[in-house]
Amino acid sequence: MEFFTYGKDYVEYRNAGETLRVMAWGENSLRVVSVPNGPLDMSDNALIQQQPTESVIRVGEDTAEITNGKITAFFDLRGWNDAAVLTFYNDKREVLLKEIDRGGALTRRARFFNPYSGGDYRLKVTFEANDGERIYGMGQYQQDILDLKGCNLELAHRNSQASVPFYVSSLGYGFLWHNPAIGSVSFGSNTTEWRADSTKKLDYWITAGSNPAEIEEQYSAATGRTPMMPEYGLGFWQCKLRYHNQEQVLKVAREYHKRNIPIDVIVIDYYHWPRCGDYRFDEHNFPDPKAMVEELSSYGMEVMVSVWPQVDWRSENFEEMQQKGLLVKTDHGMNLQMSFQGNNVFYDTTNAEAREYVWNKCKDNYYRYGIKTFWLDEAEPEYGTYDYDNYRYYAGSVLQKGNIYPKEYARGFYEGQTACGQKDIVNLIRCAWAGSQRYGTLVWSGDIASTYETFKKQIVAGLQMGLSGIPWWTTDIGGFYDGNIYDADFQELLIRWFQFGTFCPVMRLHGNRLPREPLYRVDGEETEGTGADNEIWSYGEENLQIMEKFIRVREQLRDYTRRLMVEAHTSGAPVMRTIFYEFPEDPAAWDLKTQYMYGADILVAPVVEAHAVSRRVYLPQNCKWTLAGTGEIFEGGQWVEVKAAIDTLPVFLREGRQGYLIGRI
């Protein structure tokens, strides 16, 4: 009886209806696809098609293996196994990952398709746990945990949560769960278990590498590299909730220009439109967008505008979009998906016609005025109750396809901008999935609290996103909500966060500051209000001087940051990196979650405790480190206590590199 067939770049196993194929898919990498019956489904949600690779294949009666560079997959039907068990090895024949076997009389199944009556499957895939393994990545979760071993994670998006199901293992491999279904994963001490609530197939990708940088490069080649960051992504971005009319935007810009404080982007937030789904300026508040953009451009400032995927029932476009089938469907109950300043439904980003429709509206009403960068908010999307099983996309049910929404949202704008001839595209977005990076995605960490506890979580979130293949990431400097501009404790937090933001991929000040002010439409209807002032002079002269200092530090970093963006574009390297990314041979580097590398040369240790004026920093082995503030030199491989008055933070330069920063921080 023959269980295996093969070609030059794959081995396929068939038994009892299941078809399981393992194929070479990029350098040192394999893709695994299985269906419980019927034809093999090779559709892609994140992976890019790869050229066939000549692999080393060995096939026997009850075993088979395929080797692609540094990785081997071994099929085993021996013993009590009534289905092939997969084990993955590196080039030293060390086990990287192994499916659970039958377990003798336990009759376990590593690949368990549990059918719905008359429908598709609930899928569970189980691997043996590896003792001592550390796991990093998986996107952005609001938790202060860097090593994910022992964690249970929801595979779903929420406001401030982005599920990007790729991880880097300390054992020298990377793993992508190539399934956009709503589900979960448990990195347990006994097993690792992946679950999809509704799916048609199993699909994952695994790569072997000698270090995290090699793994990241192979992963970004398989899912797509980020474009080159435009020049205006390298400096300071000014934003608040919300500049509600044209004169206010210009007043702020003129003041920055008058003070000779450089800003690259000024952001016009939501509800500059009449209704969600209108995709245009409200002419009562923004009477001459063309003149506004031209004046801002004369100051060297790009304009970013917010776009929401919600469409209000009262929007001028609602009836047409509903008639054309461009909106997300509600399976049960009223067609109401979010109640905020009206009854809203979401446009369906998985529908190419819907993407084109929304882009054309934005092209006509924004792009033609010279606005070429967009804030794609609400990208999860933010269903009022996150009842994933009650909504349906053009691509399928949200249970099956839900996690691709933000990727397709970014894709619609990226493809529209590209068709208009735009190069070097960056759009700010509140969520991402695997492959989002190739569409100019700059993810920010959502509507987060203005607290030190939250601040620490953002450092972890940024590091995890970089390892998940999303090199462009940022936060609302100071947090989004509950920050009162007159509160001295909040002002201190803002300064510490501002210093951190200087060494993020993008430096952007934003927040819904207190005290708020109500706003009204011209017809008297109350609309979304505005937060307190959030410009750097809004917090007093002493704080202004510190923030201006760090804006100028960011300018000093421009050439260096540009080089980091080239690396992200050409190799997929994160801009903001874990210490172990640069120093994988240093055991202490794998546990550091409140300090990080900004590129290869700059070690950053934000001050993350209230009222602290110093902090403890670990300096990695095998090189010397220069404290940027003083020029003092330290040997690596030790912990040091560093002074950090409110106007500075610990920044160390590797082997004296980037010496122009000495004395400036």
380 is catalytic: yes
Phi-psi bin for 333: left (phi > 0), alpha (psi -120 to 50), beta? left
Active-site hit among 380, 408, 535, 586: 380
487 is catalytic: no
* SS3 annotation, 498-557: HHHHHCCCCEEECCEEECCEEEECCCCCEEEEECCCCCHHHHCHHHHHHHHHHHHHHHHC
C-alpha dihedral sign at 607, 611, 612, 613: positive
- The 10 Å Cβ neighbour count of residue 381 is 28
Rounded Cα gap, residues 298 and 663, in angstroms = 33
Active-site hit among 312, 377, 586, 601: 377
Name every residue whose Cβ is closer than 8 Å to that of residue 413 and which is 6 or more positions away in sequence. 307, 359, 362, 374, 376, 425, 427, 439, 440
**Which SS3 state, helix, strand or coil, does residue 164 take?**
strand
Nearest to residue 471, comparing CAs of 583, 601, 565?
565
Q: Could you write out the DSSP letters of every residue in 75-140?
A: EE--TT-SSPEEEEE-TT--EEEEB----GGG---SEEEEEPTTS-EEEEEEEE--TT--EEEEEE
- What φ, ψ does residue 291 adopt, rounded to 5°? -65, -35
82 is catalytic: no
End-to-end CA gap in the chain? 71
Nearest to residue 531, comparing CAs of 121, 200, 141, 243?
243
Rounded Cα gap, residues 359 and 394, in angstroms = 18
Nearest to residue 370, comparing CAs of 285, 283, 307, 292?
292
The answer to whether 653 and 604 are in contact (CB under 8 A) is no
Active-site hit among 447, 548, 555, 567: 447
Catalytic residues: 377, 380, 447
